[in-house]
Structure 1
Amino acid sequence: MTTTSRLPCDEASVRHGDQETPCSASQKRWVLAASILGSSLAFVDGTIVNVALPAIQRELGASVYQAQWVVESYALLLAALLLVGGALGDRLGRRRVFLIGVAIFALASLACALSQNVQQLIAARAVQGVGGALLVPGSLALISAAFPEDERGRAFGTWAAFSGITSALGPLLGGYLIDRLSWAWAFAINLPLAAIVLAISWLRVPESRHGEATGPLDVPGALLATLGLGGLVFFFVEAPSRGWNAPAVVIAAAIGVAALVAFVVVERAQRVPMLPFELLRRRNFAGANLLTLLLYAALGGGLFFLPLNLIQVQGLSATAAGAALLPFILIMFALSRWAGGLVDRQGARRPLIVGPLIAAAGFALLALPGTAASYWTGFLPGVAILGLGMAIAVAPLTTTVMNSVDADAIGTASGVNNALSRVAGVLAIAVFGALMAAVFEPRLRAATAGLPEEVAAAVWQQRDRLAAIELPAGSPGAQQAQAAVHEAFVAGYRWIMVVSAALALASAGAAALWVENVGQRPAAAPVHRRAKGSRLGP
């Protein structure tokens, strides 16, 4: 950065990571604004894309497995490279890497909007994932660098609350544009928001990095993580359509497992790994990240299938489906700052137990609606209870992770936690897709057995489209066939919500067993040096 773009607390933060000369109240507000809007790019994109999937399936003729790849190509690159993004921010400057990430994300969003087929869209989404991997950890690391420990709980609570508001408006506006114009607006809507983030970050946000965060990037680790996750995702996404014994599927699974084993070996041998295993010796860091893995698997997998149910089975428009999660987001907005303050006053353990337990109840309620359910009585109670549980958990979870490491590793800590939440979603969507197919196909076969042979055959040929199966309205048995499709989809959907509830319960157990009831950063085990002058982790 040029000297004209530096702000008063830049130099101290560049030298020491935490500000020796604290940022002013005005600078803290600008940091929060940039972080909230930058994070919202990724959050809004995820929620809008889920709402847009039925339109993408219809207009691009995509199967449900291709629709999964529209989500997974983004999430896979994001998850695999988040650790690199956090480490780059610690080394090169958190604002600089954040700016680069926002720019890449914006350009990729434009490419998504201009895609002419599903293959182009999947490729553009992968590039979006690279941009997201740079901007997401940077958004939290900027807050940690600008705010002292005793202010971070409320700062993260504010970040979670206002990120929730932008995440609420995004799907609502996106759904309206999808209904009125095209699915492409699900991506084009990112462009003005990205322009605002770039302007605020360049003009008002101080630079921060740690002077000791040097050394080579862990490129082998990043490649192995990408290959390992990619192999497992390919296995679960493609197996239902290609067959579980198909050579490509078996090879992908073998490569994925081998790459992840190699990742662990390589990381333990690296002088400066992107995943320092020493961090996992810190009780709060390990417990909070296990909770993240379980809870966000439930959230990512469950919320992938909820809009498909609302639009393709219940008959809601994209606008209405985008509004369906408003209670979830508004509850998070109303309570997140309060929940963040709980950590500063009482510690994190209790909200990290209670929040996931309430979220589990929300998932259980979402398993109840049938094929002709009212949103108000069938879905709203579960959505609201799920929002309450997540509101209680998110800010304390973020604060626990960031306060459990030293100042020179906050970018890495943010990257690890965000990576785990994305890995959880990547794997959950893939595994839940396989679970859906395992339930959907037998139910569909049985339900269409009594239909005219040509109708049953037409339905079976489209089985990879799940609830998006279409038949000519006037064909004999079309109405019965559509009812059978919906019943089969809801049967699979219910299993997914039950599994999501079980994962949320398990995450509450992780908090009870491993998270210490402290509000401030606990005394941490030292991160041992392997070479003179260099720490493990950036």
Structure 2
Amino acid sequence: MSSTTHVLSAPASHALPASPWPIFWIASIAVFLVSMDSTVLFAAFGTLRRAFPEATAADLSWVLNAYTVVFAAMLIPAGGLADIHGRKRVFLIGVALFLVASVACGISSSVEFLIAARVIQAIGAALLTPASLSIVLDAFPKEQRAVAVSLWGAVGALAAAIGPSLGAYLVDQMGWPWAFYVNLPLGAISLWRGAAKLRELKGASKMHRVDWVGMTLLIISVGAAAMTITQADSPQWRRTELLAAAATSVIMLAAFVAWARTARYPLVDLALFRDHTYSAVNLATLAFGTAFAMMFFAFFEYMTRIWHYSLPLAGLAITPGPLLVIPTAIITGRLAGRLGHRPFLVIGSLIYASSGLWLLLVPGAEPSYLTHWLPGLFLSGIGVGMVLPSLSGAAVAGLPATHYAVGSAVNQAVRQVGSILGVALTVFFVGHASVTKADFGPLYGLHVVLSLITGLLCLVVNTRPQARSAS
């Protein structure tokens, strides 16, 4: 009998519960909150600048990036903990920690306290995310997993997409703390139902060590890269300091890879990357995650600072794109189960590149929402719905059950690194006090390039069922 940790302890007469969907929604509610939390502050960024006037834009970017750096670094050991110690246990601990930290964020009276609370929130988010996907994978029979994973990814993509819209409304009507308090009702439901509904067998008896060295190297590398970009035009930083930060990032990344090759229990098992599909999907996730974060941050900056929309109006104006994510992802997931993920990843990347090209060339300095903005928004919603869930599905398509949590955690961590770079690049291009339409040109140009790189990388992805079974 395999020693793999299982999520559900079903009755002896059944291999699976009568319906896996209640399990899916318990797991997905928490991931919805985590994904929404990663983008909801895009809408609150201007309000935070007014609430903490002593902080610079680069300082405040760490309210977003401190969360994302720690989230990215903690996802991988959290996946291992879920596989070893029980996915239900780790999932519930993560949800509880995320909710407590959300309250701490809301009551913060200084930027330093807010950043510290965001770090704790990131640890909770990292614990629950890979456990959630493992729960979903174990709950469904093999023939339904492509649809379930695509829908799981779609829930996260939708949450990340509507985060700015919802955040705009909450921040405008109730103040920036409600960008965090909004997590509490749904999070409490997931915690309550998860404690009652989820069942699991005991995990493997052998306890693996957490790779603190690898985690530290990764945090320093990613943090130094984000610091280099966000502070690139800061008068407080000299060129030699910026070069030193960039060099630190590169050196720590090289040290991380070298350590992973020799450590007994490395943070990232490099053997995972022997699968060409897995390697290509993670590189594509890095490129697309960067473009995705840039897009939403730039949306709000353009609408509020170039078109001078109010925050609620900007949030409402962004909504049509995210509404296309779920139906697109459902259709894509059903077809990917038969055809594989490659056609949807490639076509979706091209559509997403088209949205960046539209926003680069068409909108002007004067508002013209229906003809100049909405078509680009529709293209972005369809592109996100095709690509983001498919990346999550393709990443785990060829993994054995024992590596579900760790393998998916690596992919989610790579996406978060992309988000860090996307936020840092957006702050660099349009985070200064005086912004013009021309400042958005390089940003949307990079959006197009990253989308095309995503499509090129996905040309080698092969997740067709017959291809995976034959390999």
**Fold similarity call, TM over 0.5:** yes
- Mark the CA change 1:243 to 1:171 in structure 2 (over 3 Å): closer, same or farther: closer
Contact conserved, 1:153 with 1:395, CA < 8 A, in 2?
Answer: no
Residue 393 of structure 2: which of 392, 399, 410 is its match?
399
Shift of 1:168: 6.2
1:504 aligns with 2:447: no
Q: Paired residue for 1:216, among 209, 216, 221?
A: 209
Matches within 5 A, 1:224-373: 224-242=217-235, 245-246=238-239, 248-368=241-361, 369-373=363-367
Whether the 8 Å CA contact 2:7–2:135 is kept in 1: the answer is: no
Corresponding residue pairs, total: 466
Alignment of 1:413 with 2:407, yes or no, is yes
Among residues 359, 379, 384, which one is paired with 1:385 in the alignment? 379
- Residue 290 of structure 1: how far off its partner (Å): 1.6
Kept in 1, the 8 Å contact 2:304–2:310? The answer is yes
Contact 1:78 1:132 in 2 (8 A): yes
| Counterpart contact for 2:153–2:392, Cα < 8 Å | no
1:73 Cα shift?
0.9
Query: What's the offset of the Cα at 1:213?
Result: 7.0
Query: Which structure has the bigger radius of gyration?
Result: 1
Contact 1:137 1:414 in 2 (8 A): yes
Map Cα deviations across residues 309-338 of structure 1 (whole Å, 9 max, x no partner).
222322222222222332222111112111
TM-score (norm. length: structure 1): 0.81
3-state DSSP of counterpart to 2:46: helix
C-alpha deviation, 1:244, in angstroms: 6.0
Correspondence for 1:425: 419
| Coordinate RMSD, CA, aligned | 2.6
Contact 1:344–1:520, Cα closer than 8 Å, also in 2: no
Matches within 5 A, 1:511-526: 511-512=458-459, 514-516=460-462, 518-519=464-465, 522=468
1:33 is matched with which residue: 22, 25, 35?
25
Evaluate the alpha carbon distance shift between residue 47 and residue 432 of structure 1 in structure 2; reply closer, same or farther with a 3 A threshold: closer
Alpha-carbon distance in structure 2 between the residues aligned to 1:152 and 1:35: 15
Q: Which amino acid aligns with 2:107?
A: L
Work out the CA distance in 2 between the residues paired with 1:186 and 1:274. 32
Give the TM-score normalised by the residue count of structure 2. 0.92
Match of 1:14 in 2: 5
Q: Kindly provide the CA deviation profile for residues 340-369 of structure 1, in whole angstroms up to 9, marking residues without a partner as x.
A: 111111112111111111111011112232
User: Per the alignment, do residues 362 and 104 of structure 1 end up closer, same or farther by CA in structure 2, a change over 3 Å counting?
Assistant: same
Q: Deviations over 1:127-185 (max 9, x none)?
A: 22111111222221211122222111111233244445655665444322211221111
Contact 2:5 2:84 in 1 (8 A): no
Q: 1:298 to 1:212 in 2, by over 3 A?
A: farther
Alignment partner, residue 145 of structure 1:
138
**Contact (CA 8 Å) 1:237, 1:430: kept in 2 or not?**
yes
Pick one of 110, 113, 120 that aligns with 1:117. 110
Q: Distance in 2 between matches of 1:130 and 1:346?
A: 36
Query: Residues 279, 120 of structure 1: CA spacing in aligned structure 2 closer, same or farther, 3 A cutoff?
Result: same
The answer to whether the Cα contact below 8 Å between 2:157 and 2:384 also exists between their aligned partners in 1 is no
Once residues 259 and 467 of structure 2 are traced to their aligned partners in structure 1, the CA distance between those partners, rounded to angstroms, is 29
* Contact 1:54/1:311 (8 A) holds in 2: no
> In the alignment, does 2:365 pair up with 1:374?
no
**In the alignment, what sits opposite 2:75?**
82
Q: Is the 8 A contact 1:274 1:412 kept in 2?
A: no
Give, in whole Å, the separation in 1 of the partners of 2:350 and 2:149.
22
User: Structure 1: any 5+ residue segments left out of the alignment?
Assistant: 1-10, 438-464, 470-484, 526-538
Report sequence identity in percent: 31
- Inter-partner Cα distance in structure 2 for 1:135 and 1:119: 25
Please name the residue that 2:43 is paired with. 51
By how many angstroms is 1:388 displaced?
Answer: 0.6
